[in-house]
Amino acid sequence: MGALKVGELGEFLREQRRSARLSLRQLADAAGVSNPYLSQIERGLRKPSAEILQQLAKALRISAETLYVQAGMLDARERDELEVPAAILADPSINERQKQVLIQIYESFRKENAAAAGRPDGSADETAGTTAGTTADTTADTTTAAGSPVAPVPGQKEDQK
């Protein structure tokens, strides 16, 4: 586990708050923390607990893992595995169901690439092969909110729909 990067975390929180167009007071109220405490976190004077980070993440509508990474609570490998899901979860233009479907597809590709590279733990890296030429056992009948079909997930079983 990495060292707690309080200053970087505070700057990141301030950026996220501003991009969400929330005042310090609004975020503090939404997260259930005091205004002075949040101000101290943003200025790098306080080290928030994982629970406080989770409350802040929920209020900012980003994943708690994103804040754990910024705080140095997750190591580099965990960070790499969480970047894409965190970006998906932070996207306000798609709904929660769409976010979960995208994350499931992403995770299935990572597992498939890890298996192809001979890593049973499911971890994948940039050197893993692509999924071109792979056929799915079955196809999912998942559709988007607009009713368009979502591409089948390679290796997805019928009972995972």
Q: What's the CATH code of the domain at 55?
A: 1.10.260.40
Tell me if residue 151 falls in helix, strand or coil.
Answer: coil
User: pLDDT tens digits, residue range 4-61?
Assistant: 556 789 999 999 999 999 999 999 999 999 999 999 999 999 999 999 999 999 999 9
Q: What is the pLDDT of residue 75?
A: 67
Same domain, 139 and 100: yes
Q: Which long-range contacts (CB under 8 A, 24 or more apart) does 32-38 make?
A: 38/13
User: pLDDT tens digits, residue range 77-133?
Assistant: 666 677 788 888 888 899 989 989 998 999 899 889 989 988 665 554 444 444 443
Domain count, the chain: 2
Mean pLDDT of 146-160: 49
Domain assignment present for residue 117? The answer is yes
Q: What is the 3-state secondary structure (H, E, C) of 24-90?
A: HHHHHHHHCCCHHHHHHHHCCCCCCCHHHHHHHHHHHCCCHHHHHHHCCCCCHHHHHHHHHHHHHHH
| Per-residue tokens: 115 | 């298996």
State which residues form the domain around 103.
94-160
Q: What is the pLDDT of residue 85?
A: 83
Same domain, 54 and 105: no
- Element containing residue 15 per DSSP (H, E): helix 6-19
